[in-house]
Every structure is written in C-alpha cells, then in structure tokens.
Structure 1
Amino acid sequence: MITDEEIRKVIAPLLLSGAKMLDKHCPKCGSPLFEKDGRVFCPVCEYREKKRERELKGVEEVLMEKFKELANSMPTEVEKLRVHLEVMEKLLTIIERYKKLEGGK
C-alpha cells in the first residue's frame, strides 16, 4: 500500500521531472512503475530501500559510538574486564548483523 508521504515525496516529483508513469505495477508494492532515461523502476520500492538503509546506518552509528565508549573505558580488574569484553563482543556481533542487512556496505 502506498502512503500519502510516498505519493508526495516520490511520485509527484517524478511526474514533475518528466518521468513517464507506465500502465504496469510493481509486483512487490503495487505502485505504478515509471520510466526515465530508458530505465523502468518502482520509485516506491527504491524510496523504501533508501529509507531503510538510512535507518540502518543510523543504528550502526549509534552502536559504533557505544563500542568506542566501551573500548575507551576498559577496567583493570580481571573479572570486570572479562564482562566488559563480553559486552563488546556482543555489540560487535550486532554491528556485523546490521552491516549484513545493509548488504555488506
């Protein structure tokens, strides 16, 4: 289902830019397909993918900042250091998962 935001932010500007709306629809989201510069595409799916990538990048940045904080505050007591390193390892695992969701970027 196409949202009002997607119509306003994606479809309307495309029409104004001279892109041609086709009589075919995206099998994934139902949006009309467009053609511009010889390329046929679904603007809604592209918009959603870019939005998702931005959101994932924001989460990754927060996780990396937390990881840096942990790296800069290593305790000296052995047991506390062990726990600290376990937390850092888990955080790295989460960051790697986000990178895979982004397609390895």
Structure 2
Amino acid sequence: MALKGPTEEEMRTILMPLMLSGARMLDKHCPKCGSPLFEKDGRVFCPICGHRKKQRGAEMKGVEERLMEKLNELANSLPDDIDELEKHLRAMEKIIELLERYRKLEGGE
C-alpha cells in the first residue's frame, strides 16, 4: 500500500494551524501515512493519522448508531407469526454480529 500524505484540505485545516500554534514540523515522516511528523511540547506525533482516526471513529459511530436503531426497531416490532419471528431474530442476530465487528475494529486497528 502506497503512503498517502496530507490532502490539500488537511494541509489547510490541520497542518497550517498547527504550525501557527508553535508546533515544529520535523524532517521525518509518518511510517503509516507519509505525512510530516510534528513536535509540540516535547511530543512527536502525526496530526494526519490522528485526524483520520478520529474521522473513522466518527463514521463508525454513525454506522453503529444506525445498526442500534434498526435492532431496536426490530425488537419493538416482533411479529406473532413464527416464520416472520424467525426472520426477525435472524436479522437481529446479524446486526449484533456486525455491531461486535465494528466494536472490535474501533478498539484496535
């Protein structure tokens, strides 16, 4: 996988304000994304990976919320018909599996 440095938007919205805040851009690059590493208050970090991780987390939270809504919707509308009930329960089981996968992904990359 090729390293992907910062986009123009990330340079404008993340890197430039960081430099203006007194952070120092180093001559080293992030091994994960290829963006320049920064140092501020004795801490060396990649602002781009941190930003992207937060974005992915927010996206995953949105997916998780939609799955939970669907799970609640199904739980609150269980049919009396046995065949339909089995379909509902299978769908709920799949949603629970997906939620568990998302939570594992969120916990560690």
Aligned to 1:82: 86
Deviation of 1:91 after TM superposition, in Å, equals: 0.7
Aligned to 1:39: 43
Q: Does 1:98 align with 2:81?
A: no
The AA in structure 2 aligned to 1:41 is: F
2:75 and 2:27 mapped to 1: Cα distance?
A: 55
Aligned to 1:71: 75
Among candidates 55, 61, 78, match of residue 59 of structure 2: 55
2:99 and 2:75 mapped to 1: Cα distance?
A: 15
TM-score (norm 1): 0.94
Among candidates 5, 15, 18, match of residue 14 of structure 1: 18
Which 4+ stretches in 1 moved above 4 angstroms?
none
Deviation of 1:8 after TM superposition, in Å, equals: 1.3
The AA in structure 1 aligned to 2:93 is: E
What root-mean-square deviation, in Å, do the aligned CA atoms of Structure 1 and Structure 2 show? 1.1
Q: Percent identity?
A: 64
1:54 and 1:80 mapped to 2: Cα distance?
A: 34
The AA in structure 2 aligned to 1:10 is: I
Structure 1, gaps ≥5 residues long: none
TM-score (norm 2): 0.90
Structure 2, gaps ≥5 residues long: none
